[in-house]
Amino acid sequence: MYKIYTKKPGIPLGYIYKFLLIMRLTTVLLIATVMQVSATSFAQKITINKKNASLDMVINDIRQQSGFDFIYKLDLLKKAKPVTINVKNIDLIDVLKQCFKDQPFTFSLVDKTVILRENEREKATLNIVLEGKVTDTLGHPIPGATIKVMQTDLFTKTDGQGKFRLSSVPADAVLLVSYVGYNTKRVAIADLKRPISIILHEGLTRLEEAVIISTGLQQLSRNVAVGSVAIATAKDLENSGITTFDKALAGKLPGVYVRSVTGRPGETGQIIIRGVNTLTGNVEPLYVLDGMPLQEGEVSGGMNALISNGIGNIPPENIETITILKDATAAAIYGSRAANGVIVITTKTGKAGSDYINYSGKFGITQKPENKFKFMNSQEKIGFERDLYNNFHMSYERSGRVGQLLNLVENGAMTSAEAEQKIAQLGQTNTNWIDELYRNAFSQSHNISMSGGNTKTTYFTSLNYQNSQGSLIENKFQTAGFNMKLSRFITNKLLVNLNLYSTIKRNVEGQAGMDPFKYAVFANPYEKPYNVDGSYAADMTYREIPYTIGTAPALQYSNFNILRELRENKLTNNYGNVRGQIGVEYNFLKGFKYTGNVSGSYTSVHDKDESYAGTYRSWINNWLNKSSSNSNVLSDYNRGFLEEKTGRTMDYTVRNTLEYMKKINKHFVQAFTAFEFGAILNDRFNHFNPIYLQEYAIAGYPSWDLVPDTRFMNLDLSRFGGTSTRENRNASYIGSLVYSYNDRYVFNGNLRYDGVDIIGSNNQFSPLWSAGVKWNAHNESFLEKYNSIISRLVLSMGYGYRGSINRSALPFHTYTLGTNVYNNIAVAQAFAYGNPVIKWEKKQETNLGAEISLFNGRINTEFRYFKEKVNDLLDNTTTPPSVGRPSAIVNIGTMSNKGFEISARFEAIKTKDLLWEVSGNITRVKNNLDNIFEKTVPNIANSATRNIQGYPVNGWYGYKFSHVDPENGSLMVYAKKKKTELVGTEVVTSYTDELVDLSKTSTAVLQSDYVTSYLGHRDPELYGGFSTRFIYKSLEFATTFVLATGNQIMGFRDRREGPTLNPDDITASRTNRLKENLNRWAQVGDITNIPLYKNGTSSYTQYLISTDLEKGNYLKCNEMSFSWRAPKSLLKQTALKTLKATLVANNLFMVSNYSGTDPETQTTFGYPNTKAYTLSLTVGF
């Protein structure tokens, strides 16, 4: 008999039993492995021979031989009996047992510490109330310091006067006292004198020593935090020469892929956590600043989102910690906004005591890009053009300068002698266009902060300024900001926090109507920037226009010079943001705390695009719809232009939280509930003036009488201007529960109920939840005697849901108003039906983890396995005509990610004066589109990525290269031949690989009889990094490498990458070509990979070929630093508290076989990343 169970959300009970069994077995295996590998380290051999010696003397001998510390009450040894012992090469544990077997006290091992206790059961179970104060070395109180009772879940924080109170504390307990920026201190209660006073010393805190983890909504003891979390501290950022914190994280955190998409100053990178989770929505994580989430408009609030990204507003010098929540157990409390992970940023706060002034200055040089492409020099290009003209006799418009001169000779417009004289002059010029357009750029940034306070009030304020030249000429970026954090204890139970953040940015960049780096690579070397008289020389062979010159000669522009374009056309981006947060914390009753927070921000973005009259950019961007008339463009329509765009974003968030935390014997409970609501309002405005007199700053419109030609009858009126407004509202109910038994077995549950107005009423609210369990195995009694080896051993499991929504997938009907008017009312030119059944994308996750720390933290490793599935995936779907719209974004698919993370840190050498530390991490993410709209591989002539069911997201599809036929120069590829047959009543389509001549087979035949093949995917499947750090006294050397592999990106192919879209080889040769084209197929028997040149397009110029793709693998030295920190002995002679100088090199070198500029950017051109050198100085008073 069988019983059938219906599917229910959650984890089947049997899985939990299995998981607990696996945890036990895993622990046994880990212990066995560690014991085998580390038996020598644990079984410390002691030799001692004493007769009737004092126990104090014996302890000193053991301490010297083993390196273990002893903690005991000072008067405890007065009760000790004399010790007689004679052992040789005996294990430490056995020696201790022999020493204490007849003593009136016992011992226990914690890390490399032996703790002595009175041998009375009632003493071990006696609980006391502990009150005390935490100060720094100058006696100033430290508010917010964490006091944790070791081997329990009990912890508290000091109040505004540095005082604390703990109840139900075991009399033999050991306290762990910590605060950011200070060395963690371990102290036994038995050693503390009354009144209790604990002094912390300033120092650097390692990641593994983090006692409290902040999720933004709550603070959790590390022992009860179940989810997958990565933490970066101020130490990880301070030696970086990078001015945005996101790029400084590259390669340092497992599961976090940071990609530098551009080298333009001020632009932020892209952060992807555990792969892509959506096809149509935002892929960026949620950012939380000092406990409050940043609304989407704050993160990218403007038209130029790269410089208006709000994440770039936070100076790295102001950041205390960055906590990244990677799985549902950690991030589900942020619900529908957490599908891509959560980044929690905590900025620095003031400390009670003396006032501090800190200055940080950075001065850097960014190198201009290198042209590593092997293009022809002038002499090679001249010979190449002669050969082409002799074979194809191209028209004047399709030729380079040499072909143009030979064409004039052939048509009788020039003598052969005159042409050869001019060709000889061309050969004498060999312009390096990289040197003309790019420079070694200087940058500087300054940050000055003041902090301090007293027992009631603390403050932190900072001013920052950055001025950076771009490596591209005429590019300059500036930013300035002011931040303030103020905390005030109104009473010992009531705390008020006030935070203010403000930033302004300005970016100015010359505009050429084309990619300057592409021009620098493809421009013919015989073209020159200036004439002999110093005027701008015209480039007659580089034209990047979307019109066919042969059919529209009126569209030729004869005076193009890129230097003139960059200097006379400007795009100015202005950005401003101000954000405020106010919060109150009130502790009442026993264990209850109320927290109320309100945050709001205002962002303004203004883009001003100016083009000078007569420039190429003005010519191609005027307001007229051009046709193929043979007459010239009227000069009245090439009089410059002014286009301005303005955007504003206002948002607010309100949250009320009630939290309860209680320790009852071995039971610990921490729970909270919260209600949060907010809104964001965006409005945009733009206008276009087709006449702009830049020197007078006058803009206007031409006379309508100047439109006599029929080719200008259709004016592009849509460019004149427009407005848009959008408002989104959201509300959430949040709950969380943490339960721990005896600091060993932990349960964590989270529930969030999210609602947004953009979805509509049908599926407006979505419940999202997570649950996780954790086993702190190192706290088990059977592992206590191995604490000197196994400092920490944790197994965990989490399961839950997160969500996301594409806000452009509107459930409402939309109208687009046009320029036609009826009865004084604008008439709609387009109408689209909404999707009333739009739903949340839901991400279902399972996460397994193991952490182990050995030898008092000298070796730390962490392993995570994750499996994710996105249900109700939104995909752009073709709809039938009856729907009233050609396509719609619909919940139609599923997508999965699975993989693992491994991280490790090892202190190879650790002495008083020397530390050598090595760390690394690796992440593998396997993506698959399980079910989406496009289910078969299409046969489309393009080179873009596509999303096809059964393959990874952003897949490449094309033909597989075979060879170039040595008989005729044809490009031979493998294509999948379609075969359709009737099997019974079912039509079955099968595919077989067939060798196809792509140079001769028409596009129509390819699309009807063949399909393309999957060639790889764009996103890295494996990524990570490794770092090493040497510290010797006051000197420190550190370096970080990042790596990525397992993906394919577009390689550099000059025909496809050139200024003309999908040209034939003849037209592409108007500009410069790679030297490899000199070895193209030319005659029977030639062995080459470059096919025969044809006069006209062919299928191989339109389809993606496997040889067009290259592996995106790279290993990059992201940063290398050398720093000197002034020793305290030197500082005592000055008024300084800190002094540090650091030299940093970023993007120092890269190991990659990629033929393009930078595989990390995944683009051949754009604004390349280049080497940068920075000298920084930090001074504290």
Residue 390 in domain: no
The residue from 351, 379, 403 where one domain ends is 351
pLDDT at 554: 44
Whether residue 1005 sits in one domain with residue 965: yes
Domain shared by 938 and 1083, yes or no? yes
Q: How far apart are CA 776 and CA 795, in angstroms?
A: 7
Return d(Cα 711, Cα 551) in angstroms, integer: 14
Angle, CA 674 vertex, CA 668 and CA 676 arms, to 5°: 155
Q: Rounded to whole angstroms, how far apart are CA atoms 8 and 847? A: 19
Residue 1078 domain-assigned (yes or no): yes
Query: Which residue, of 120, 139, 166, is where some domain finishes?
Result: 120
Please report the pLDDT score of residue 1062 as a whole number: 56
Smallest CA-to-CA distance from 621 within 632, 629, 609, 604 is with 609
- For residue 309, what is the domain's CATH number? 2.170.130.10
Residue with the two structure tokens 């689209």: 832
Low-confidence ranges of the chain (pLDDT < 70): 1-43, 74, 110-111, 119-127, 138, 151, 153, 160, 180-181, 202-211, 296-310, 543-556, 623-636, 704-718, 760-761, 807-833, 881-885, 941-943, 1060-1063, 1097
DSSP 231-247: EEEHHHHHT---SSHHH
Cα–Cα separations (whole angstroms), residue 341 to 374, 381, 532, 804 = 42, 52, 59, 11
Helix axes 416-427 and 378-392, enclosed angle (nearest 10): 150
Distances (CA, A) of 304 to 567, 647, 724: 21, 10, 16
- How far out from the chain centre does Cα 549 lie? 43
Report the distance separating Cα 29 and Cα 31, nearest Å.
5
Among 688, 682, 687, 701, smallest CA distance to 639 is for 701
In the block, which residue shows the tokens 């979805």? 759
Q: Which amino acid is at 45?
A: K
Tokens of 819: 């320029």
Strands 745-756 and 721-741: antiparallel
Which of 69, 86, 120 is the last residue in one of the domains? Answer: 120
The answer to the question of residue 373 being in a domain is no
- Let me know whether 265 and 137 are in one domain: no
Q: Are 1152 and 1114 in contact (CB under 8 A)?
A: yes
Query: So what's the pLDDT on residue 548?
Result: 41
Structural domain including 106 reads 43-120
Dist. CA 684–CA 1127, nearest whole Å: 55
67/151 same-domain check: no
Q: Name the residue among 746, 802, 749 with its Cα closest to residue 328.
A: 802
Which pairs from 23-26 meet CB under 8 Å and 24+ separation? Answer: 23/775, 23/777, 23/795, 26/795, 26/850
CATH number of the domain to which 171 belongs: 2.60.40.1120
CA distance 62 to 659: 47
85 with 169, same domain: the answer is: no
CA dist 334 and 750 (Å) reads 10
Residue 868 lies in a domain: no
DSSP secondary structure letters along 882-905: GGSSSEEEEEEEEEEEEEEEEEEE
> Using alpha carbons only, what angle is made at residue 1141 by residues 1138 and 1143, rounded to the nearest 5 degrees?
155
- pLDDT for residue 381: 95
The residue whose two tokens read 């619900």 is: 335
107 and 139 inside one domain? no
Distance CA 376, CA 522 (A): 10
Q: Does residue 1017 share a domain with residue 1094? A: yes
Of 125, 307, 144, residue with least CA distance to 212: 144
Q: How many domains does the chain have?
A: 4
Tokens 């600091």 correspond to what residue? Answer: 743
Q: How far apart are CA 242 and CA 1119, in angstroms?
A: 9
The verdict on 972 and 1054 lying in the same domain is yes
List of residues 6+ apart from 497 with CB closer than 8 A: 485, 486, 487, 581, 582, 583, 584, 585
Q: Torsion-angle region of residue 808: left (phi > 0), alpha (psi -120 to 50) or beta?
A: alpha
For the chain, the farthest-separated pair of C-alpha atoms sits apart, in whole angstroms, at 121
Tokens of 75: 């008067």
Classify residue 647: in a domain, yes or no.
no
Residue type, 982: L
State the pLDDT at residue 298.
58
Separation between Cα atoms, residue 178 and residue 192, nearest integer Å? 17
pLDDT at 205: 43
Number of other residues whose CB lies within 10 A of the CB of residue 1051 = 19
402/420 Cα distance (integer angstroms): 9
Amino acid 97: pLDDT: 82
Give the model's pLDDT for residue 909: 92
Are 306 and 336 part of one and the same domain? yes
In DSSP terms, 600 is beta-bridged to 580, 652
Structural domain includes residue 817 = no
191 and 78, same structural domain? no
Tokens representing 399? 């030729």
606 CB neighbour count, 10 Å cutoff? 18
Assign residue 984 a region (left: φ > 0; alpha: ψ between -120 and 50; beta: otherwise). Answer: left
Per DSSP, the residues of 508-546 read EEE--SS-HHHHHHHS-TT--SB-TTSSBPP-SS----S
Supply the pLDDT for residue 34.
Answer: 42
Count of positions (residues) in the chain:
1181
The reply to whether 759 falls in a domain is no
Residues 112, 132, single domain; the answer is: no
Cβ(325)–Cβ(269) below 8 Å: no
b/e per residue, 39-72, with b = 16+ CB within 10 A?
eeebebebebebeeeebeebbebbeeebebeebb
Q: What is the DSSP string of 685-718?
A: EEEEESEEETTTTEEE---GGG--SGGGSSB-GG
The Cα-based distances of 58 to 50, 96, 113, 535 in angstroms read: 8, 10, 16, 92
The answer to whether 407 touches 396, Cβ cutoff 8 Å, is yes
- Please indicate, yes or no, if residue 975 is contained in any of the structural domains: yes
Examine the domain organization and report whether 943 and 1016 are in the same domain: yes
